Amino acid sequence: MSENPETRGAAAVPRQAAGDTARPGGRDGEAPADSIRVLIVDDHALFRRGLEMVLQGEDDIDVIGEGGDGHEAVEMAGDLLPDVVLMDIRMPRRSGIEACTAIKDAAPSAKIVMLTISDEEEDLFEAIKAGASGYLLKEISIDEVPQAVRAVHGGQSLISPSMASKLITEFASLAKRSEERTQQVPAPRLTEREMEVLRLVARGLGNREIAKELFISENTVKNHVRNILEKLQLHSRMEAVVYAVREKLLEIT
């Protein structure tokens, strides 16, 4: 998925005027109750249309709105309460990273995936700190996006392979710096079960997989994850992975 505006939207056929950014009713005016509600935010209209066409072809996904910048993203997320937000980073008026933080306040349950051309480490780390659940480069095939939406909605964190290597390097650096500290603030105490869940989260397992691993219900896993994030004052599962590395709960090889 290239950023080049001449090629990115080549397969997309605009279905309506560029100014029509929101369609709360979905394809048929009313989305199925169990569908994944997706908000698309990108300043390139043809790219948005391409994503919409692919996602609307999936029975379990419904595109409920489109926005062209970070300011619109925050307003629409608060109004539409999407399950998943697919959002670019470099946009006018308000960047995707700034919008990410605001969206987490306006729609706390929304999972945000940065879908961008930026392979800058700083953007990746800032997106994670802002609460993003995924960071995908636009070089991925557009046909992979529906599965990415399902994975993030199911509780997984996704990072493009080329960016994941940079994140692992940063994890290792964090762990090394932790060893060099002479004074540390005592970490909040987690229960034994919470520690087990944290280790599995750090391994990249989703809630359903963790539930099977520990022979507990998926709702119980969700409660544990929520408690872990609250105790550690973290905003996302990805930040929990960083914490696990720093505290040597996950070994970097």
Residue 177 belongs to a domain: no
Number of domain units in the chain = 2
Strand partners, 159: 135
**Tokens 């935010």, residue?**
41
Residue 252 belongs to a domain: no
Rg (CA), the chain: 19
Residue 147 belongs to a domain: yes
- Answer whether 158's CB lies under 8 Å from 148's CB: yes
Average pLDDT of the chain is 78
Same domain membership, residue 85 and residue 38? yes
Predicted pLDDT at 193: 92
- Answer whether 120's CB lies under 8 Å from 137's CB: no
CATH of the domain at 123: 3.40.50.2300
**pLDDT digit string (tens) for 74-125?**
999 999 999 999 999 989 888 898 999 899 888 989 999 999 898 887 788 8
Judge if pTM exceeds 0.75. Answer: no
Torsion of CA 136, 178, 130, 114, to 10 degrees: 0
Q: How far is CA 243 from CA 6, 67, 76, 247, in A?
A: 42, 33, 32, 6
The backbone torsions φ and ψ at residue 172, rounded to the nearest 5 degrees and listed phi first, read -60, -40
| Helix, strand, or coil (residue 12) | coil
Predicted pLDDT at 166: 65
Helix (H) or strand (E) holding 64: strand 61-67
Q: Residue 192 is part of which domain span?
A: 184-246
Determine how many CB atoms are found less than 10 A away from the CB of residue 185: 6
Same domain membership, residue 216 and residue 110? no
Residue 95 belongs to a domain: yes
Same domain membership, residue 55 and residue 97? yes
Same domain membership, residue 109 and residue 31? yes
Same domain membership, residue 99 and residue 154? yes
Ranges of residues in the chain whose predicted pLDDT is under 50: 2-29, 181-183, 252-253
One-letter amino acid of 75: E
Predicted pLDDT at 30: 52
Q: For 185, which DSSP code? A: P
CATH of the domain at 230: 1.10.10.10
Please state, for a pLDDT cut of 70, what percent of the chain lies above it.
Answer: 74
Encode burial over 9-26: b for 16+ CB neighbours within 10 A, e otherwise: beebeeeeeeeebbbeeb
Structure-block tokens of residue 123: 């953007």
Residue 176 belongs to a domain: no
Residue 45 belongs to a domain: yes
| Helix, strand, or coil (residue 182) | coil
Residue 179 belongs to a domain: no
Predicted pLDDT at 39: 97
Same domain membership, residue 77 and residue 148? yes
Residue 37 belongs to a domain: yes
The backbone torsions φ and ψ at residue 64, rounded to the nearest 5 degrees and listed phi first, read -100, -10
Encode burial over 57-78: b for 16+ CB neighbours within 10 A, e otherwise: ebeebbbbbbbbbbbbbbbbbe
